[in-house]
Amino acid sequence: MNTSRREFLKQAAMAAATAVLGGATHSHIEAAEGADGLLWRKAPCRFCGTGCGTMVGVKDGRVVAVQGDLENPVNKGLLCVKGYHAGVALYGKDRLTKPLIRKNGKLTPASWDEAITRIAQEIMRSPSTFAVYGSGQWTVPEGFSVMKFMKGGLGNNHVDPNARLCMASAVVGMLTTYGVDEPSGCYDDFDECDTVILWGNNPAEMHPVLWSRIVDRRGKGEKVEIIDLATRRTRSTEGADHYIEFTPQGDLAIANGICRLLIQWNKHDQGWIERHCNIRQGEDGVGKPMAWDEYVKWLETYTPEYVREVAGISERNLNLLAERFADPDKKVLSLWCMGMNQHTRGTWINNLVYNVHFLSGKFGKPGSTAFSLTGQPSACGTCREVGTLGHALPGGRLVAKPEHRAQCEELWNIPAGRIAPKPGMHTMAMFDALQKGDLSGVWVQVTNPAQTIPNLNNFTSNLKDRFLVVSDVYPTVTTDLATVVLPSAMWVEKNGVYGNSERRT
């Protein structure tokens, strides 16, 4: 790169940063239009659930630059650490470029025709025992195609994503609370809230752009309080006003302890509860109806002393949390992600945090909500809305409901009765069946289960003996076990859409 080009790029880079900081300049606009010799196009980032908008600079058919999309309402021009590598990741030396078929124990280059013929023959040998395992990194059209191919084509519901492992408790938490798998908040709440409570959440490292959106308000002179309620210190702790450490599993007691204090102080929002809530005792997805007095009595266990015993937090800190919810003028945002959602009692803690917001009436108002963040770019948009789950069909429909199957069969113009009435295997049942030989094969897409499945050795030691197809962009420990490997397109090499944490697509 010669000096004049370097200086030009530095000016473009400076203009972009200046624009993000409120000083929009003409040269930024020039850069977007390609005065730097690059072709700039928009693309969503695909490296987490935030759903940032990026501008991708292309030169001679290769990605050479990335900048945050200033016009995107999610990230407003910012990138995060992934921006350094999003483009470079396309061009690694070991990128998979040709189909591979295992012959005499060794993966050997093959033609697409040969690979696809082999896959088709194996699937048709036993269509009912073939499965697909994917992830929240499928684009919406990819996930839809897979789901329709399996359920409407093979008549087999054995398709599931790794989102089963990370988001099941968030989904069931929403279903049992709202009756629908949809989040209540959106990112605009981050701009409006007075207090953010991080429930075992570390957005400074996991969702850095969203974290910036909160802490940057302080730089503009706004006051936003952050309470880090966690089992260990993280980078987010550094930006918090209060750090409250609790014993693992103690968060359930904390949530109930806050509710008890709100009622004891007569600071709960009785009108809101009467207008919007039915109280039910847990145990299953429906629950047993519970009168208000019964609920109040049930909460009596959760005295500050009991919460201290279970959760290890002081009465002062429990009061601090409850006071935020008790203040009618304070807008409170609760945030969580895998800390709660991969909790062994994840569904219950989701339910209980909603309870705190319902009881205080801090819900459904700008800046006041309870918000479960996602980790993958399209765990919401693809897996949950499209229905790439063994039990699901698109749009919240269920395999088990005859009317939902009939609707899909009519929409897809396939014979009535094609969609099997029995839900397909969920992720762990799928890998258990592969281990035992009850499933003959699986097509793994956009995920790496031989690295990531829980109890790895118990569920993957026989995978190499099954018909294992892996679509991926680089070699992984799962491709090492594969019978057929298909090279895949990645990020801006293909078209598609994602649905992010706030369900923006």
Partner 1 sequence: MPVSSYAVRCNDSARPGVMARLGALPGVTVGEETEQGIPVVTESKTSRAARELGEQLEQIPGVENAVLVYHNFEDES
Nearest approach, Cβ of 46 to partner 1 (angstroms)? 16
CA–CA dist 100, 107 (Å, integer): 6
Candidate residues 32, 45, 52, 65; the one interacting with partner 1 per rule CB under 8 A = 65
Nearest to 373 by CA among 389, 344, 356, 353: 353
Contact 432, 443 (CB under 8 A): no
233 in contact with partner 1 (CB under 8 A): no
20 in contact with partner 1 (CB under 8 A): yes
Nearest approach, Cβ of 139 to partner 1 (angstroms)? 24
279: its two tokens: 């109280």
222: its two tokens: 């706004």
Binding-residue total with partner 1 (CB under 8 A): 44
Nearest approach, Cβ of 55 to partner 1 (angstroms)? 9
* Residue 376 falls in the annotated catalytic set: yes
* Residue 167 falls in the annotated catalytic set: yes
Nearest to 128 by CA among 158, 152, 148, 149: 158
Nearest approach, Cβ of 196 to partner 1 (angstroms)? 15
* Residue 82 falls in the annotated catalytic set: yes
Indicate which residue of 45, 55, 147, 166 is catalytic: 166
296: its two tokens: 């109040």
Contact 16, 75 (CB under 8 A): no
Q: Which residues contact 357 (CB under 8 A, 6 or more apart)?
A: 325, 332, 334, 363, 368, 369, 370
Indicate which residue of 376, 381, 387, 445 is catalytic: 376
441 in contact with partner 1 (CB under 8 A): no
Distances (CA, A) of 399 to 147, 149, 151, 427: 12, 15, 9, 16
57 in contact with partner 1 (CB under 8 A): yes
* Residue 166 falls in the annotated catalytic set: yes
494 in contact with partner 1 (CB under 8 A): no
88 in contact with partner 1 (CB under 8 A): yes
61 in contact with partner 1 (CB under 8 A): no
Cα torsion 238, 241, 243, 249: sign: negative
Q: Show the binding pattern over residues 190-219: x = contacts partner 1 (CB under 8 A), - = does not.
A: ------------------xx-xx--xx-xx
67 in contact with partner 1 (CB under 8 A): yes
Nearest to 375 by CA among 241, 274, 215, 498: 498
473 in contact with partner 1 (CB under 8 A): no
Report the Cα 250 to chain-centroid distance in Å: 24
Nearest approach, Cβ of 16 to partner 1 (angstroms)? 4
Binding site for partner 1 (CB under 8 A): 1, 6, 9-10, 12-14, 16-18, 20-23, 57, 59, 62-68, 77-81, 83-85, 87-88, 91, 208-209, 211-212, 215-216, 218-220, 239
Q: Give me the active site residues, please.
A: 82, 166-167, 338, 375-376
